[in-house]
Amino acid sequence: MRRQMARFAENADAILPLALGVVVSVLSVLGLISSDLVASAILAAVGVLSFALLRDRWTDQARGVDARRTAEETSAVLDEVRTRLPVIGTLDQTMDSLRSAIEGLTTVRTLKGIDIDRAFLEARRHTDRWLFKGGTGTYTRAVTLPLCVRSARRERRALLVRLEILDPTNRGLCEQYARYRASLAAGPDGTGDTWTTDRTRKESFATVLAACWYQQHYRLLDIGVGLASTMSTFRFDLSASHIIITQDDSRFPATAIARTSPLYDAYANELRTSFTQTRHVPLADAAHFPLSTTPTRTELRDLFARLHVTLPEEYGDEDLDQIIEKALRAKNPYVDPETLEDGSHGL
C-alpha cells in the first residue's frame, strides 16, 4: 500500500489531469455540468500539464549542468594526472630500485659463531666447484676439500677446485703472515700449534701435497693450486651457491653472499682474475706420479722436485713427516675447547 501511494505521489502531476479529464467528460456527456465548467476544467488540466513539463525541463537542465560540471572536473583531474605522469614514472623507477636494493640485502648475510659453520655446510652441499683464496689453506685442506671430494664421489660428478695460497718458497712472505697470525692469538689453535714461519711454510707445502694426492685418488677432480706473492687478511670461499668471506680470527663476523646476488659474479670474477696472477703449480706434470696411500718421504721429495716447488734444504725426515701428516690428516684449526663448550665450531 505504501509503495502504491509513493508511486501515486511521484506521478500526481500526470494522474490528476487525466482523472479530471475523465470525470469532466463523463459528467458532460450525462449533461450534469455546463459547458463553461467543462472549459474551465480543461484549462486547469492544461495548466497542470504545463507545470509538469516545465518542472521536467528544469530538472533536465539542472542535471545537464551537474553532468557538465562533473565532466569538467574529471577532465581537470585527467589533465593533472597527465602533467604528473613523468613524476609518477620516476617514482615507479625509484620504487623498483628500492625493491632491488631490499632483495639484494636479503642475499647478503653477516654471520658469527655457529652460523658460519652452517653457511659452510650449506655452501658445500652438492657443489660442483670450490674456489679458495687465503693464507695456507689449512681449513680448506682439513675440512672443505675432503668433504667436497667425498660428496662428488658419492654423486659421481666432476668437481672443480682452485686454491690460491701463500708461496711456501717465499720465506719473507711466510714470516710476515706468521707475525700477523701470532698477533691475533698468541696461543695454539685447534691444531695444537702456534703460528710461526716454519709452520706457515709447512701448511702451504701440505696443501700442495693434498691437492696432488686427491687428484690421483679421484679422477673427476680438476684441481689447481696457485702460489701468491702477497698475503691477505681475508679468506674467500666460493661454491656453486655461495661466497663466504671470513677473516683469520674466527671472533670476527663473516659475510655470506648467495648466488642470486649481483655481488656473487663480481667476486667470482675477482677470484678468477687473482688466480691467473699467481705462480701455478704444474699439477698436471705430477698427475701420473705415483703416490702411496700414505706418501713416503722419498715420494714427497721427488714430487716437489717435479712440481718445481723447492723444499728447504734443511728439512729432515721429521719435517717431511709433518708435511705428510698435515696433508692427509689435517686438523680443523678453528675447533678449540672454548668454542666447543658453547656449541660453536669456529669455521
Kindly give the parts of the chain with pLDDT less than 50: 98, 100-105, 336-347
Residue 204 has a pLDDT of: 98
Query: What one-letter code names the amino acid at 124?
Result: R
Q: What is the C-alpha separation between 159 and 149, in angstroms, rounded?
A: 7
Q: What is the C-alpha separation between 328 and 293, in angstroms, rounded?
A: 9
Which of 175, 274, 269 lies closest to 226, judged by CA?
274
Residue 288 has a pLDDT of: 81
On whether the CB atoms of residues 111 and 255 are closer than 8 A, the answer is yes
Terminal-to-terminal C-alpha distance of the chain:
88
Which of 188, 333, 329 lies closest to 246, judged by CA?
333
* Dihedral angle over CA of 297, 303, 307, 311, nearest 10: 10
Q: What is the C-alpha separation between 106 and 338, in angstroms, rounded?
A: 31
Domain ranges of the chain: 1-106, 111-335
Q: What is the largest CA-CA distance in the chain?
A: 152
Which architecture does CATH list for 111-335?
2-Layer Sandwich (3.30)
Query: What one-letter code names the amino acid at 89?
Result: G
Residue 345 has a pLDDT of: 31
